Amino acid sequence: MDQASSTAIVPIRNEQENVQEVLITESYSTNNSNLGSLVRLVIGGLVLGYDELMVRLNEWENLISHQQNITAGENSDTPISLDQEQVFFINAKSPNSEENDRLIFAVFGLLSESQQITIKGLKAVDKRSRILLRVTGSIIKPLTSNRFIRPVMNRYDQLAQRGQDEVERWVNVGKLEYQHSYRLAKTALQSTINESINTLADNPEIHNLIETQSAGLANEVLEETRERSVTADNFIEDILRALLRRPLRSELPPPPDEMREKATKIIKVAK
Amino acid sequence: MDNEDNKQITPRPDLSGHYAGFISRLIAFTVDLLILSTVIVFLTWFVPTSITMMQLRPDEFIGRHFPYLSSFFEFIYQSFTNLGTTWGIFGIITIIIYNSFFVSFAGQTPGKALLGLRVVPISGYKISLIHGMIRYLLYYLSALPLGLGFLWILIDDRRMAWHDKIARTYVLYAWEARPDEQFLVKVISTMEESRRKLKEMRSKKSKETETNQIK
């Protein structure tokens, strides 16, 4: 656990701007342990997910209500355009939104702090109980080893054993639940990916886009190859002619027009 | 700046219908070779395997009805189930059919089509299957003297190989052929760069040897 310095920049949400940076000058101890990071991740994920979900829900609600408006009263005198309506709903904030934000931050701070406070408290309790046990152990030893007290001690041991068994049971249930949750999350993720891929594969617009782009790319590559081969034809010939001390060709002698027409006939028809 | 603009505006020469050069034809030939190799390897594996797997014995069936032909069909069966013989038979047949069929049917093999080349007879008529076959068989004549017949394309004014001359055919660009000048500039600059480096290395070496000799 680090005792971090007191100054830090933390982004918070605001009504006017989406993100505002705030300087925290109070002493704040950051907990970089795995558990702390996990708690932070879960809380952050929840907050982020909640925000995103709310924005989307607003949008969907607006879209649905707009569609309903269109189908219900197409002859309305004052139709509201989709953009105007969306902007109105998205920008609209309840008067309590600032209070809600404060509440969310308070919960966030409490959760972060409570985890640290709990660990600190548990450590203190553990330390004190050890001291107490050391001090009182020698005093109460004759009392605990007394045979009249033994039935009470036996009951206490049974109770402790039962508690231990209960904890063991929780551990087993936890293991099972952990595996189950893991499998569930994995299945959910896999099915989401599969569904997304299926949607992409079935979408005719994406099909067209891929086909067009692939064909365009193939044509480009083919044309480039042809052009380069034509260049290489001339280049190699020039080199060979230079080696054989023959005059360089300024221009290729064209074949008879009939031949040229025959060779390029299909291209001209296709064009 | 003006020069650059002029370079951009100047239209590149259209060589459509001109005689195709050595490199284009070589690339087309390589593509054809790749296609043919794939087909032949597949047939060589597929035919004997399927005959053996299905336990087909047409030679026995024919031999029962026509006893005098049984030995001949047994020989054919043995040949077809033998990998080496099948490769030989299918290889030769496939290569001849591939070249003559495509040249006579479309005037170009798939490799030539990819590079935008077309075989056109000097007579002006369509190339027949026999004509295409003869033209293909003449490839071997061009290949015999260490490929000199093919290299003839480089020095001939009409870029004709020996087999073209004998079979009386031209190979022409069947697309709006134009050279890629940027590529040419790149090639030349790379060559000049490598020549310069080579010169530098030589001069360095000679200086080192001189200093060594002085020492």
Looking at the predicted structure, is the pLDDT value of residue A10 above 50?
Answer: no
Task: With a cut of 70, say whether residue B2 has pLDDT above it.
Answer: no
Structure tokens at A55: 């924005």
User: Domain residues of chain B, as ranges?
Assistant: 14-173, 180-215
CB B171 within 8 A of CB B119: yes
For A248, nearest residue in chain B (alpha carbons): B155
Sign of CA dihedral A228, B138, A243, B157: negative
Give tens-digit pLDDT for A31-40: 556 666 666 6
Residue of B nearest to A255 (CA): B18
Q: What is the mean pLDDT of chain A?
A: 72
Residues of A in contact with B172 (CB under 8 A): 255, 259-260, 263
Over residues A181-193, mean pLDDT: 73
How much is the pLDDT for A36? 61
Question: How confident is the model at residue B192, as a pLDDT?
Answer: 86
Torsion of CA A242, A245, A249, A255, to 10 degrees: -120
B192 in contact with A, Cβ within 8 Å: no
SS3 assignment for A202-251: HCHHHHHHHHHHHHHHHHHHHHHHHHHHHHHHHHHHHHHHHHCCCCCCCC
* Contact check, Cβ <8 Å, A234/B176: no
State the pairing for strand pair B117-121/A20-24.
unpaired
pLDDT of residue B24: 93
- The phi, psi pair for B118, rounded to 5°, reads -140, 140
Range A69-88 average pLDDT: 56
Cβ pair B120:A267 closer than 8 A: no
Are B24 and A233 in contact by the 8 Å Cβ rule? The answer is yes
Q: Which carries the bigger pLDDT value, residue B178 or residue A32?
A: B178
- How close is the nearest chain A Cα to the Cα of B204, in Å? 28
**What is the average pLDDT across B153-168?**
90
Helix (H) or strand (E) holding B72: helix B70-81
pLDDT score of A83: 52
Q: B18–A240: do the CB atoms touch at under 8 Å?
A: no
**Which of A43-47, B64-68, B116-120 is predicted with the least confidence, judged by mean pLDDT?**
A43-47
Which candidate from A233, A253, A261 shows the least CB-CB separation from B24?
A233
Residue B36, chain A, CB below 8 Å: the answer is no
Say yes or no to pLDDT of A181 above 50: yes
**Is B127:B121 a contact under the CB 8 Å cutoff?**
yes
A 223-252 → B contacts, CB under 8 A:
224-237, 240-241, 244, 246, 252
Q: Supply the pLDDT for residue B42.
A: 81
Domain boundaries, chain A: 216-248
Q: pLDDT category, B75, cuts 50, 70, 90?
A: confident
Give the number of other CB atoms < 10 A from CB of residue B32.
Answer: 20
Closest CA–CA distance from residue A216 to any residue of chain B (Å): 15
Whether A267 sits inside 8 A of B184 (CB atoms) is: no
Helices (H), chain A: 34-72, 82-91, 97-144, 150-202, 204-243, 257-270
Average pLDDT over residues B180-186: 81
Closest Cα in chain A, distance from residue B139 (Å): 20
The string of pLDDT tens digits covering residues A225-266 is 898 998 888 888 888 888 888 777 766 677 777 777 776 765
Q: Among all residues of chain A, which has the CA nearest to that of B173?
A: A263
Q: B14 in contact with A at a CB cutoff of 8 Å?
A: no
Residue B173's φ and ψ, nearest 5 degrees, are -75, 125
**Considering chain B, what percentage of its residues have pLDDT values greater than 90?**
27
Pairs of residues, one from chain A and one from chain B, whose beta carbons lie less than 8 Å apart: 104
Asked if B136 and A227 count as a contact pair (C-beta separation under 8 A), the reply is no
Contact B4, B165 (CB under 8 A): no
Q: Which two tokens stand for residue A75?
A: 């002859």
Of the pLDDT bands very low, low, confident and very high (cuts 50, 70, 90), residue B25 is very high
Q: Which of A91-100, A182-191, A237-246, B97-106 has the lowest mean pLDDT?
A: A91-100
Q: Do A259 and B172 touch (CB under 8 A)?
A: yes
B113-127 pLDDT per residue, tens? 999 999 988 887 788
| pLDDT grade for B166, boundaries at 50, 70 and 90 | very high
Nearest to A1 by CA among A48, A44, A41, A37: A37
Give the percent of chain A with pLDDT over 90: 0
Tokens 């870029």, residue located: B159
Please report residues of A whose CB lies closer than 8 A to that of B192: none
Chain A residues near residue B19 by CB distance under 8 angstroms: 252-253, 255
Q: Span B83-99, mean pLDDT?
A: 79
What ipTM, to 2 d.p.? 0.73
pLDDT at A136: 83
Please, what is the end-to-end C-alpha distance for chain B in angstroms? 53
Candidates B175, B181, B186, B189: best to mutate against A (most CBs of A within 10 A) is B175
Least confident range from A120-124, A175-179, B80-84: namely B80-84
Given a cut of 90, whether residue B163 has pLDDT beyond it is: yes
Residues 6+ apart with CB under 8 A from B23: A229, A232, A233, A236
Q: Is the pLDDT of residue A45 over 70?
A: no
- Give how far Cα B3 sits from Cα of B8, B9, B10, B45, B188, Å: 9, 10, 10, 60, 19
Q: Which helix (H) or strand (E) holds B73?
A: helix B70-81
Q: Is the dihedral of CA A241, A245, A251, A254 positive or negative?
A: negative
Alpha carbon distance A105, A92 (integer Å): 21
Distance separating alpha carbons of residues A255 and B44, to the nearest angstrom: 42
CB contact under 8 A, B179 and A234: yes
Instruction: Provide the whole-model pTM.
Output: 0.52
Q: How far apart, in whole angstroms, are the C-alpha atoms of residue B33 and residue B189?
A: 33
